[in-house]
Amino acid sequence: MSERSQSYETGQHPDLPAPVTSTGVIGWLRLNLFATVPNAILTILAALFLLWFIPPILDWAIFSADWAGQTREDCSREGACWVFIKVWFRQLMYGRYPVEEIWRINLAYVIALAAGILLFVPGLRGKPWIGLFLLVGFPIIAFFLFVGGSFGLPEVETPLWGGLFLTLVISAVGIVASLPMGILLALGRRSNMPIVRALCVTFIEFWRGVPLITVLFMASVMFPLFLPEGMNFDKLIRALLGVMFFSSAYMAEVVRGGLQALPKGQYEAAQALGLNYWKMMGLVILPQALKLVIPGIVNTFIGLFKDTTLVLIIGLFDFLGMVQLAGTNPDWLGFAIEGYVFTAFGFWIFCFSMSRYSQHLEKKLHTGH
């Protein structure tokens, strides 16, 4: 007490610790959950709701669920029957990819995962090269691994591809292609050259104006009609092109938003220093514009990732498609819920990771302005 009442000269008062009631668990509870009477009531209601809601779900999904067995006779039907997922697991992951070739897919996963983890090692040098490898080198390696037909690997035709593997292929191609294409389209749309601008506007507005389902449908049904007799494009490639154009149009608009948000002074300062158009864009404008729109970019990626499920429409069996196929198998009728919960969980893991990664990036790139 005596210390508090002691007087100090201006600017000489020592720092005191914060009062106990504003820190620690009690402080946190008070500040966030019980700050006002309405706040306290809401807290209690929410807690009751969770108590009512969560135990039955846990019971269904874990405690009363069936885990062991090989056939539907092993399902007690008191809770979820994960035997269904277990039996169909390989198809859900790889589609009808030949069993003895599945190591090729897993090898690609391992390479990508290793490179991805290296990107996160703090202070590691050469990260730009790893990034470049992931964007350029890896797709080439993956292509030869997946398709085969060279280096002594037997060919695996794309109709055999499916499950989560197919989902990842389509969304990875869409994601990797849509960012550079979207950037070029956005720059083109803001260009001073009327023809370039008109072309970009037309492209963007066309692909943005049609639903993805239509795009996929046109790609698989109408596109072949325009091709000369005998020439045949792989169905997967047609779907990939459709997804690429579609998502790059969305990406272009996201990037344009970032370009427009930058003050004119940034362009002028770069020009005044003698940077030409591409150096100005690459070194000054795009790094800032892209950083501004990271949430929008990741949003587009997540949207694209989930939209890939639409390829079912043209007879490609992705993760969701495979689950549906399994659910219509006469031996396994009535297990759709388990299937959908499992797919939802799978999609959620990927989308949530993307969202966390974008937050990590935003924090890392923040330079205090």
Check residue 191 for interaction with other proteins (CB under 8 A). Answer: no
User: Closest approach of Cβ 126 to other proteins, in Å?
Assistant: 16
- The verdict on 194 binding other proteins (CB under 8 A) reads no
| Residues that contact other proteins, how many (by CB under 8 A) | 22
Q: Report the C-alpha gap between 291 and 359 in whole angstroms.
A: 11
Longest dimension (CA), the chain: 98
Q: Binder to other proteins among 13, 127, 208, 279 (CB under 8 A)?
A: 279
Count of beta carbons in the 10 Å neighbourhood of residue 267: 16
Span of 87-95, 150-158, 276-284, 323-331 interacting with other proteins by CB under 8 A: 276-284
Which one of 20, 150, 276, 330 is in contact with other proteins (CB under 8 A)? 276
Identify which of 237, 241, 213 has the alpha carbon closest to the alpha carbon of residue 314: 213
Q: Residue 57 or 273: which CB sits closer to other proteins? A: 273
Angle between helices 83-94 and 102-120 (to 10 degrees): 80
Binding flag, residue 356, other proteins (CB under 8 A): no
- Asked whether 238 and 217 are in contact (CB, 8 A), the reply is no
Nearer to other proteins, 64 or 191 (CB): 191
Task: Assign 294 to helix, strand or coil.
Answer: helix
The residue from 266, 299, 309, 324 that contacts other proteins (CB under 8 A) is 266
Piece of 168-176, 196-204, 259-267, 333-341 that binds other proteins (CB under 8 A): 259-267
Q: Cβ 255 to other proteins, closest distance in Å? A: 16
Asked if 368 touches other proteins (CB under 8 A), the answer is yes
In the complex, the smallest distance separating the C-beta of residue 276 from other proteins, rounded to whole angstroms, is 6
Q: Which is nearer to other proteins, 4 or 364 (CB)?
A: 364
Taking the complex as a whole, how short is the minimal distance between the CB of residue 51 and other proteins, in angstroms?
47
Q: Which is nearer to other proteins, 144 or 267 (CB)?
A: 267
**Could you tell me the CA-to-CA distances from 46 to 35, 82, 310 in Å, in that order?**
15, 30, 36
Cβ neighbours, 10 Å, residue 86 = 15
Of 90, 96, 291, 306, the one binding other proteins (CB under 8 A) is 291
The answer to whether 81 and 334 are in contact (CB under 8 A) is no
261 sits near other proteins (criterion: CB under 8 A): no
Which residue has tokens 């620690």?
24
Q: How far is the CB of 248 from other proteins (least distance, A)?
A: 24
Distance of alpha carbon 69 from alpha carbon 132, whole angstroms: 45
Nearest to 189 by CA among 254, 240, 242, 244: 254
DSSP 8-state assignment for residue 155: P
- Per the CB < 8 A criterion, the answer to whether 86 and 326 are in contact is no
CB of 119 to other proteins, least distance (A): 20
Contact call for residue 365 and other proteins (CB under 8 A): yes
Express the helix, strand and coil content of the chain in percent, nearest 5 each.
Answer: 75, 0, 25
Choose between 40 and 273: whose C-beta lies nearer to other proteins.
273
SS3 82: coil
Reading phi first (left if > 0) and then psi (alpha if -120 to 50, else beta), residue 333 is in: beta
**10 is a site residue for other proteins (CB under 8 A):** no
- Which of 78, 205, 268, 331: binder of other proteins (CB under 8 A)? 268
Binding site for other proteins (CB under 8 A): 263, 265-266, 268-276, 279, 283-284, 287-288, 291, 365, 367-369
